[in-house]
A and B are shown apart, each in its own frame.
Chain A
Amino acid sequence: MAGEVLAHLLEFQPSAPEVQQKREYDAAARQFVAKVSNISHPHFLKGAETSGDVLEILHPESNSIAYIFALHARISALSDAKFQKGIPDQLRPGGYIWNKVENFMQNFDPVQVRYVGQEWRRLMDYLERVARLMGSPGVAISPIRSGLLRLDPLSGTFTLTHLYFIRLCMETRSYTAALPILDNYISSLPSTLPAAILQGMEYSSPSANHVVSGEYIHAKSGHTDKITMADVQEYYVLGAMAYLGLSQFNKAKQFLEHALVAPANNVANGLMLEAYKKWVLLSCLVDGTIKGLPRTANTAAIKQIRTSSKAYEALADAYTQLRNLPKLKAQINAGKDLWAEDGNTGLVKELLEQQQKLYISWLSRTYSAIPVTNFAGNLGLTKDELTGKLEELINKGQLNATIQRSGAGDILRFFLDPTQGPLAKTETQQQQALYEQTQRTNLLAEQVKSADYRLSLTKEYIEHIKRQNKKMAANASGEPMDTTWDDGMEAEEDLMGDLH
Chain B
Amino acid sequence: MAANVESSPFFQSQRAKGCIVVKDPPKFDLESYISNYDGQTRLDRLYHIGASSTYLAVDAYRMAIKEAKKGKDTKLYLALVEDFANIAPQDPLALTDMSWVERKNREVKEEQDKLEHELKSYKNNLIKESIRMGNEDLGHFYYAIGDLSNAHKAYYRMREHCTSNKHLTDMSLRLVYVSIAQKAWMGAQSHLAKIDAAGKGDDKTKLEPIVSAVLGLTHMGAGNLREAANSFIGTSPNYLSLEATAGIVWQREVVSGNDIAVYGGLCALATMERSELQQFVLANSDFRNFLELEPHIRRAITLFCNSKYSACLEVLEGYRTDYLLDVYLSRVLATIYSRIRTKSIVQYFIPFSCVTLDEMATKFQLTGEYGSIEEELEDMINSRILDARIDLVDRLLISPPTNPRYSVHADALHMAEDYDHTLRLRLTRLNLLSAGLEVRAEKGQGKESSGGLQEGLSASLRGFGSRMGF
A and B found bound together: yes
Is A411 among interface residues, defined by CB-CB distance under 8 A?
Answer: yes
- A448-476 vs B, Cβ < 8 Å mask (1 yes, 0 no): 10010011001000000000000000000
Contact A417–B469 (Cβ < 8 Å)? no
Interface residues on A, range: 35 or more
Contact A419–B406 (Cβ < 8 Å)? yes
Contact B439–A229 (Cβ < 8 Å)? yes
Contact A369–B393 (Cβ < 8 Å)? yes
20 A-B pairs in the complex with CB atoms less than 8 angstroms apart: A186-B431, A189-B435, A229-B432, A257-B425, A262-B439, A265-B439, A270-B458, A273-B450, A274-B458, A294-B422, A340-B466, A343-B466, A345-B466, A365-B389, A366-B382, A369-B391, A430-B409, A437-B417, A444-B420, A448-B427
Contact A262–B432 (Cβ < 8 Å)? yes
Task: Pick the residue among A185, A347, A350, A458 that contacts B424 (CB under 8 A).
Answer: A185
Smallest CB separation, B468 vs chain A (Å): 5
Is A241 among interface residues, defined by CB-CB distance under 8 A?
Answer: yes
Is A173 among interface residues, defined by CB-CB distance under 8 A?
Answer: yes
Other than the known A185-B424, A437-B416, A451-B427, what 9 A-B pairs have Cβ atoms closer than 8 Å?
A261-B426, A261-B429, A308-B454, A343-B464, A365-B389, A417-B401, A430-B413, A444-B423, A451-B431
Smallest CB separation, B352 vs chain A (Å): 14
Contact A186–B440 (Cβ < 8 Å)? no
Contact B457–A270 (Cβ < 8 Å)? yes
- B384-412 vs A, Cβ < 8 Å mask (1 yes, 0 no): 00000111111010101101011101101
Contact A455–B430 (Cβ < 8 Å)? yes
**Which residues of B are found within 8 Å of A187, using beta-carbon distances?**
427, 431
Is A269 among interface residues, defined by CB-CB distance under 8 A?
Answer: yes
Among B104-157, those with CB < 8 Å from A are none
Contact B462–A343 (Cβ < 8 Å)? yes
**Which residues of B are found within 8 Å of A267, using beta-carbon distances?**
439-441, 446-447, 450
- B437-458 vs A, Cβ < 8 Å mask (1 yes, 0 no): 1111100001100100111111
Contact B457–A416 (Cβ < 8 Å)? no
**Which residues of A are found within 8 Å of B450, using beta-carbon distances?**
267-270, 273, 304
**Which residues of A are found within 8 Å of B437, using beta-carbon distances?**
189, 227-229, 232, 262-263
Main secondary structure of the interface of B (DSSP, over half): helix
Q: Report the bound CA distance from A271 to B389 in whole Å.
A: 45
Among A337-396, those with CB < 8 Å from B are 339-347, 349-350, 365-371, 374
Q: Which residue of B lies closest to A349 (CB)?
A: B470
Q: Report the bound CA distance from A187 to B432 in whole Å.
A: 11
Contact A244–B468 (Cβ < 8 Å)? yes
Is B70 among interface residues, defined by CB-CB distance under 8 A?
Answer: no
Q: Report the bound CA distance from A186 to B447 in whole Å.
A: 30
- A156-186 vs B, Cβ < 8 Å mask (1 yes, 0 no): 0000000000000010010000000000011
Smallest CB separation, B360 vs chain A (Å): 15
- A237-270 vs B, Cβ < 8 Å mask (1 yes, 0 no): 0000100110100000010011001111101111
Smallest CB separation, A477 vs chain B (Å): 33
**Which residues of B are found within 8 Å of A101, using beta-carbon distances?**
none
Q: Report the bound CA distance from A278 to B465 in whole Å.
A: 10
Decide yes or no: A343 and B398 within 8 Å by CB, A173-B468, A189-B435 being known contacts: no
Q: Report the bound CA distance from A185 to B454 in whole Å.
A: 27
Smallest CB separation, B242 vs chain A (Å): 52
Contact B439–A268 (Cβ < 8 Å)? yes
Is A440 among interface residues, defined by CB-CB distance under 8 A?
Answer: yes
Among A308-325, those with CB < 8 Å from B are 308
Q: Report the bound CA distance from A185 to B422 in whole Å.
A: 13
With a 10 A CB-CB cut-off, give which of A228, A350, A444 has the most chain B CB atoms. Answer: A444
Task: Pick the residue among A190, A416, A455 that contacts B398 (CB under 8 A).
Answer: A416
Is A447 among interface residues, defined by CB-CB distance under 8 A?
Answer: yes
**Which residues of A are found within 8 Å of B413, using beta-carbon distances?**
430, 433-434, 437
Is B421 among interface residues, defined by CB-CB distance under 8 A?
Answer: yes
Is A335 among interface residues, defined by CB-CB distance under 8 A?
Answer: no
**Which residues of A are found within 8 Å of B425, using beta-carbon distances?**
257-258, 261, 294, 296
With a 10 A CB-CB cut-off, give which of B381, B416, B437 has the most chain A CB atoms. Answer: B437
Is B378 among interface residues, defined by CB-CB distance under 8 A?
Answer: yes
**Which residues of A are found within 8 Å of B456, using beta-carbon distances?**
270
Q: Which residue of A lies closest to B401 (CB)?
A: A417
**Which residues of A are found within 8 Å of B430, using beta-carbon distances?**
451, 455
Among B20-69, those with CB < 8 Å from A are none
**Which residues of A are found within 8 Å of B197, using beta-carbon distances?**
none
Q: Report the bound CA distance from A435 to B421 in whole Å.
A: 17
Contact A265–B441 (Cβ < 8 Å)? yes
Task: Pick the residue among A264, A346, A349, A413 that contacts B438 (CB under 8 A).
Answer: A264
Q: Report the bound CA distance from A413 to B391 in whole Å.
A: 8
Contact A418–B420 (Cβ < 8 Å)? no
Is A280 among interface residues, defined by CB-CB distance under 8 A?
Answer: no
Contact B465–A347 (Cβ < 8 Å)? yes
Nearest 10 Cβ contacts at the A-B interface: A270-B454, A270-B453, A264-B439, A368-B389, A270-B457, A346-B465, A343-B465, A229-B437, A343-B464, A267-B441
Q: Report the bound CA distance from A427 to B420 in whole Å.
A: 22
**Which residues of B are found within 8 Å of A455, using beta-carbon distances?**
430, 434
Contact B393–A441 (Cβ < 8 Å)? no
Contact A346–B393 (Cβ < 8 Å)? no
Q: Report the bound CA distance from A263 to B434 in whole Å.
A: 11
Interface residues on B, range: 35 or more
- B223-242 vs A, Cβ < 8 Å mask (1 yes, 0 no): 00000000000000000000
**Which residues of B are found within 8 Å of A340, using beta-carbon distances?**
463, 466
Contact A448–B391 (Cβ < 8 Å)? no
Q: Report the bound CA distance from A341 to B423 in whole Å.
A: 34
Contact B422–A272 (Cβ < 8 Å)? no
Contact B434–A458 (Cβ < 8 Å)? yes
Is B461 among interface residues, defined by CB-CB distance under 8 A?
Answer: yes
Is B335 among interface residues, defined by CB-CB distance under 8 A?
Answer: no
Q: Report the bound CA distance from A308 to B43 in whole Å.
A: 57
Smallest CB separation, A138 vs chain B (Å): 15
Q: Report the bound CA distance from A273 to B449 in whole Å.
A: 13
- A285-301 vs B, Cβ < 8 Å mask (1 yes, 0 no): 00000000010101001
**Which residues of A are found within 8 Å of B420, using beta-carbon distances?**
437, 440-441, 444
Contact B429–A263 (Cβ < 8 Å)? yes
Q: Report the bound CA distance from A430 to B421 in whole Å.
A: 19
Q: Report the bound CA distance from A458 to B469 in whole Å.
A: 46
Q: Which residue of B lies closest to A234 (CB)?
A: B457
Is B433 among interface residues, defined by CB-CB distance under 8 A?
Answer: yes
**Which residues of B are found within 8 Å of A274, using beta-carbon distances?**
454, 457-458, 461
Q: Which residue of B lies closest to A437 (CB)?
A: B416
- B152-186 vs A, Cβ < 8 Å mask (1 yes, 0 no): 00000000000000000000000000000000000
Contact A371–B392 (Cβ < 8 Å)? yes
Is B17 among interface residues, defined by CB-CB distance under 8 A?
Answer: no
Smallest CB separation, B445 vs chain A (Å): 10
Contact B468–A367 (Cβ < 8 Å)? no
Contact A265–B438 (Cβ < 8 Å)? yes
Is B428 among interface residues, defined by CB-CB distance under 8 A?
Answer: yes
Contact A369–B427 (Cβ < 8 Å)? no
**Which residues of B are found within 8 Å of A367, using beta-carbon distances?**
389-392
Smallest CB separation, A273 vs chain B (Å): 5
Decide yes or no: A191 and B429 within 8 Å by CB, A369-B392, A440-B420 being known contacts: no
Q: Which residue of B lies closest to A409 (CB)?
A: B393
**Which residues of A are found within 8 Å of B421, using beta-carbon distances?**
254, 257
**Which residues of B are found within 8 Å of A296, using beta-carbon distances?**
425-426, 429
Smallest CB separation, B280 vs chain A (Å): 34
Is A283 among interface residues, defined by CB-CB distance under 8 A?
Answer: no
Q: Report the bound CA distance from A431 to B408 in whole Å.
A: 12
**Which residues of B are found within 8 Å of A346, using beta-carbon distances?**
465-466, 468-470
**Which residues of B are found within 8 Å of A207, using beta-carbon distances?**
none
Task: Pick the residue among B390, B423, B455 that contacts A366 (CB under 8 A).
Answer: B390
**Which residues of B are found within 8 Å of A437, using beta-carbon distances?**
413, 416-417, 420
Smallest CB separation, A404 vs chain B (Å): 8
Smallest CB separation, A428 vs chain B (Å): 11
With a 10 A CB-CB cut-off, give which of B421, B457, B461 has the most chain A CB atoms. Answer: B461
**Which residues of A are found within 8 Å of B468, using beta-carbon distances?**
173, 241, 244-245, 346
Is A414 among interface residues, defined by CB-CB distance under 8 A?
Answer: yes
